[in-house]
Every structure is written in structure tokens, then in C-alpha cells.
């Protein structure tokens, strides 16, 4: 049995240590498996911990936060109860911190692919080889599986220099790094890599950026070259990546850049993916649930944007409530002696780990 | 909630928004693009890249276009039998090749 490797999430200001089980890791036994590490899933991890349940959280992306992290980490969010304004990534960090005392196990970079039952208990496998045996599963899958947009010009260097995420900053020490994209991820990584890489260049198709203006300014000041109205149109190298060709789109002129790493930060596409094969009852590609957030499958619940019922409103605030409902109802199925009502958090929560 | 494409898109159809949309919910008519009001997840990525600044959140959008974006999917387009409905991604059906009565007439 190999030891689980540790992955550090670099772009979150809270550095979460993430365990990455490998193909031959033993099954993970938990009370509740949460599929989807967006805001609803992370709050569910807190809630399950608060109820004294062992919990694991699986997500296809290597970073927690779901849509918030993938699409709007810098945007202020104004409709979370009790927080008049909270920046997206701060909300994610706070949700991680809220769950942290209960030690949830994070299986990030794992795509939940298969649901089966063993002795009436759900078993979920990931594409990457993790197996989780759970008392109940809560699907907080939002809009589904995120897939990074490809960069066809460099496809042949996938895994040999072309990456979609920065997993460890130190891997890029003294490298020439080219980052494609104009959003927050592109600029966050440029910001983090500039001090230790030999060079960092951003290539963006337009001359306007979706990234936060202050980050763009900081990256510029750190000496990162920003090539606008440009695209990576070819990549070359004998073994690993060595150079990329950048074309200035308005006039078609090209230049070669040295690059051992090419980061494609072109955003994501999402679709329900493997969940469609689980036998869940769907309506308009969303999971139908009852008032207890139960799906049509035994011991499988759903919460957050992925659910559907008459009157559904898709907001983070609603997802928080739904996942609390899902956890508390699941708790009574896992242990028929358990009470549906969890007690108040002010009364003294379950023992923290 | 959803984003809405307005008049500035007509006969331009830059399609940058279609490249950005993470859920592929922007559909191509003959003269204009339309955002699916149910499939849209309200992320706003399209609005930021539109060179015509034709896209706005529905609460800020021109009410005629808000209704018209919805009609494109819910009512049969001129000369068609069936409404476009909710295909779950514009790549699945390709360009629709027709517009709503409002855009066709405009």
C-alpha cells in the first residue's frame, strides 16, 4: 500500500492539505460522502462533522469551492446571511475553516464515476481509483463536472508541459512559464509564480481581462509580460515542452517563447457527466428531491444548485439550507436511533478532532 | 435568473460569448444569438467578453429582449413546427438558423 500523497492547494489563501488516494489505496469508510466541494458541499462537511459523523468530500477539481473558485473567486457576494459582503474566495476559505475542526477527508481531483451498493450501503468509486463506502451520499454537484477548456494547439504536450492547474508552486522554480487566459486563475498563478519562475508570460486573446484589476496591476508590476490579442498557436519540444509559438491575432505575426510549462487557464465547461448513469431521477438535467432532499435512490441525497423541486431557487443561501436538511435526514437513515433535529450549535457541538 | 442578449448583437454575432459560456447555453439564430433562460447559470462571463456590450443581466435588460430570448426557446420559431426547447447545450444542435418574429421583422 502506497502512502497517500499530499497536495497543497495553492490558489486558496487557506492552504488546504488534500489527501490524494491512489489506485491501490484501501476503501475509505465514512458516514457521509459528499460529492461536490462547492459551497453547499463544504457546508455539508461542516454540518456532518457537527453531528459527529465522519465525512469525505469528493470533487473533480483539485481546488475546493466549485463554481465560486472556478468562475468568480474575486467577486463580492452580497446574499449570504450574516455577511453583508464577502469575496468569493474568502467565503470558500471560511467554509473550509468551519469544517476543519471535524477533519473531513478531501478527495480533490477525483471524479465520482460509479455508484453501487454493498449490503444496502452506497459505494462510490472515482475515475482516479478511490473507493468510498458510505452510510449515505449527498450529491452537491452544482452544474456538474467541470472540465478545463482544452488548448488544442498544445494538446500533444498534455502532461509533458501542458497543465490546467498549478498543483505545487515549487514545481515551476526556475522555469519559463506561459499562461494562457485572462481570468482570475491566470493572473493568480502569474502572481504566485512570478517570484520563483525564471519568466512568466500571460497570453490572452483579448485586450480586456476578467481578472480583478488590482491583481492585473500587481502582476504587471512583478515583471510579467502580458501579450494581448494573442493566442498560443503551436508548441514544440523533443521530449517535454520547450517552446510555444504566440500569434498576434490582428496582424498574424508570430514569436517564439521559451516555455517548459504552459498553463491553460481558459475556464471550464460543465455537464452532469457520469451522474447521469447513476439512475437518479432527473428533470431538466437536475436531480428531483423531496422535502427531505432524498433522491429516488436509497441513501442518496442531493442539495444545492443540482436539485429540483417546485419552487426551487438556485442560490448559495438555499444550498446551505438544503444541505443541512440532507445531512440531518441522512443521519436518521444511517442511525435509526438518531434524532432528525441536530440540536443547536450553541449547545456544544460534537467533539472536535 | 439569466443573462439576456440585446439589439446590439443583431447582424454582428461576434460569438465570443459562445466561447466563454461554461454551460454552452448561447444559441445561434440567423441574425442574433440568444441565451437560454433556464440553462444559463448567471455567471456573467459572456457579458464581460461581448465586444458589442450587448449582454446584460435579466434584471437590467431591455424587457422586450428579455421576453424575446425566452420566446426563442419556448415558442416555435417562424416556419418551424416545434420549439427549440431545452437541448442542454447549443453544440448539440448547432446553429438554429432562424430568429424570433421580433428579430426577423426588425
For residue A270, the distance in angstroms to the closest alpha carbon of chain B comes to: 6
- Range in A19-33, A102-116, A220-234, A270-284 the model is least confident about: A19-33
Asked if residue A197 has pLDDT above 50, the reply is yes
Please, which residues have CB within 8 angstroms of residue A348's CB and are 6 or more apart in sequence?
none
Please give the ipTM for the structure prediction.
0.75
As a whole number, the mean pLDDT across chain A is 90
Q: Please state which of the ranges A55-59, A230-234, B57-61 shows the lowest mean pLDDT.
A: B57-61
Q: Smallest CA–CA separation between B105 and chain A, in Å?
A: 32
Mutate to test the interface with B, among A38, A143, A216, A304 (most CBs of B within 10 A): A143
Nearest CA to B52 out of B95, B99, B17 is that of B17
pLDDT at A344: 82
What is the 3-state secondary structure of B22-83?
Answer: CCCCEEECCCCEEECCCCCCCCCHHHHHCCCCCEEEHHHCCHHHHHHHHHHHHCCCCCCCCC
Asked if residue A310 has pLDDT above 90, the reply is yes
Q: Per the structure, how many domains does chain B have?
A: 1
Q: Per-residue pLDDT averaged across A5-22, rounded?
A: 42
Neighbours of A344 (CB within 10 A): 8
Percent of chain A topping pLDDT 90: 73
pLDDT at A72 (0 to 100): 84
Residues 81-100 of A with CB under 8 A from B: none
pTM: predicted TM-score of the whole model, two decimal places: 0.84
CA angle A166, A172, A178 (to 5 degrees): 75
Q: For residue A225, is pLDDT > 80?
A: yes
pLDDT tens column, A48-70: 999 999 999 999 999 999 999 98
Q: How confident is the model at residue A349 (pLDDT cuts 50, 70, 90)?
A: low
Confidence of residue A22 (pLDDT cuts 50, 70, 90): low
| Residue from A229, A285, A68, A270 nearest B21 by CA | A270
**Greatest CA separation found in chain B?**
35
| A329 and A30 Cβ atoms separated by less than 8 Å | no
* Confidence label for A166 from pLDDT (cuts 50, 70 and 90): confident
For residue B93, give its domain range.
3-105
Instruction: State residue B48's pLDDT score.
Output: 85
Residue of A nearest to B20 (CA): A267
Q: Does the beta-carbon distance from A267 to B45 stay under 8 Å? A: yes
Distances (CA, A) of A76 to A80, A84, A86, A284: 10, 10, 5, 30
Nearest CA in chain B to A75: B43
The CATH code of the domain that includes B88 is 3.30.70.20
CB contacts under 8 A, A 257-286 vs B, are 267-271, 284-285
Q: Which of B20, B48, B86 sits opposite A284 (nearest CB)?
A: B86
**pLDDT range class, residue A17, cuts 50, 70, 90:** very low
pLDDT given for residue B93 in this prediction: 92
Q: 416555435: which residue's cell?
A: B76
pLDDT at A7: 36
- The mean pLDDT value for A151-158 works out to 95
Average pLDDT over residues A320-331: 98
Amino acid at each position: 500500500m502506497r502512502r497517500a500523497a499530499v497536495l497543497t492547494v495553492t490558489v486558496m489563501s487557506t492552504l488546504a492539505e488534500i489527501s490524494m488516494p491512489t489506485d491501490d489505496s484501501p476503501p475509505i469508510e465514512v458516514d457521509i460522502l459528499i460529492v461536490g466541494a462547492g459551497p453547499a458541499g463544504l457546508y455539508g462537511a461542516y454540518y456532518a462533522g457537527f453531528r459527529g459523523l465522519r465525512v469525505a468530500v469528493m470533487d473533480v477539481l483539485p481546488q475546493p469551492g466549485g463554481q465560486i473558485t472556478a468562475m468568480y473567486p474575486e467577486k463580492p457576494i452580497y446574499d449570504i446571511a450574516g455577511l453583508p459582503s464577502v469575496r468569493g474566495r474568502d467565503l470558500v476559505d471560511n467554509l473550509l475553516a468551519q469544517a476543519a475542526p471535524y477533519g473531513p477527508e478531501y478527495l480533490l481531483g477525483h471524479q465520482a464515476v460509479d455508484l453501487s451498493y454493498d449490503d444496502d450501503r452506497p459505494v462510490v468509486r472515482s475515475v482516479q481509483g478511490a473507493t468510498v463506502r458510505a452510510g449515505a451520499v449527498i450529491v452537491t454537484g452544482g452544474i456538474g463536472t467541470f472540465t478545463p477548456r482544452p488548448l488544442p494547439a498544445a494538446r500533444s504536450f498534455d502532461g509533458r508541459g501542458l497543465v490546467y492547474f498549478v498543483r505545487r508552486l515549487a514545481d515551476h522554480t526556475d522555469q519559463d512559464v506561459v499562461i494562457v487566459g485572462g481570468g482570475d486563475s491566470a493572473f493568480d498563478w502569474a502572481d504566485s509564480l512570478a517570484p520563483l519562475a525564471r519568466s512568466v508570460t500571460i497570453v490572452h486573446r483579448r485586450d480586456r481581462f476578467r481578472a480583478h484589476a488590482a491583481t492585473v496591476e500587481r502582476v504587471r508590476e512583478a515583471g510579467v509580460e502580458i501579450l494581448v490579442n494573442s493566442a498560443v498557436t503551436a508548441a514544440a519540444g523533443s521530449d517535454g515542452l520547450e517552446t510555444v509559438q504566440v500569434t498576434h491575432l490582428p496582424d498574424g505575426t508570430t514569436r517564439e517563447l521559451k516555455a517548459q510549462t504552459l498553463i491553460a487557464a481558459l475556464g471550464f465547461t460543465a455537464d452532469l457527466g457520469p451522474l447521469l448513469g447513476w439512475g437518479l431521477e432527473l428533470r431538466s438535467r437536475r436531480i428531483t428531491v423531496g422535502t427531505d432532499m432524498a433522491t429516488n435512490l436509497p441513501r442518496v441525497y442531493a442539495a444545492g444548485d443540482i436539485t429540483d423541486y417546485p419552487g426551487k431557487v438556485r442560490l448559495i443561501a438555499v444550498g446551505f439550507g438544503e444541505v443541512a436538511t440532507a445531512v440531518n435526514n441522512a443521519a436518521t437513515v444511517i442511525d435509526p436511533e438518531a434524532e432528525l433535529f441536530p440540536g443547536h450549535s450553541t449547545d456544544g457541538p460534537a467533539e472536535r478532532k | 435568473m439569466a443573462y439576456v442578449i440585446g439589439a446590439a448583437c443583431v447582424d454582428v454575432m461576434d460569438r465570443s460569448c459562445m466561447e466563454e459560456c461554461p454551460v454552452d447555453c448561447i444559441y445561434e439564430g440567423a441574425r442574433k444569438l440568444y441565451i437560454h433562460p433556464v440553462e444559463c447559470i448567471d455567471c456573467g462571463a459572456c457579458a464581460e467578453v461581448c465586444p458589442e456590450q450587448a449582454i446584460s443581466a435579466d434584471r437590467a435588460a431591455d424587457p422586450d429582449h428579455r421576453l424575446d430570448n425566452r420566446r426563442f426557446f419556448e415558442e416555435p420559431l417562424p416556419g418551424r413546427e416545434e420549439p427549440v426547447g431545452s437541448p442542454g447545450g447549443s453544440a448539440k444542435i448547432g446553429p438554429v438558423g432562424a430568429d424570433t418574429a421580433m428579430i426577423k421583422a426588425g
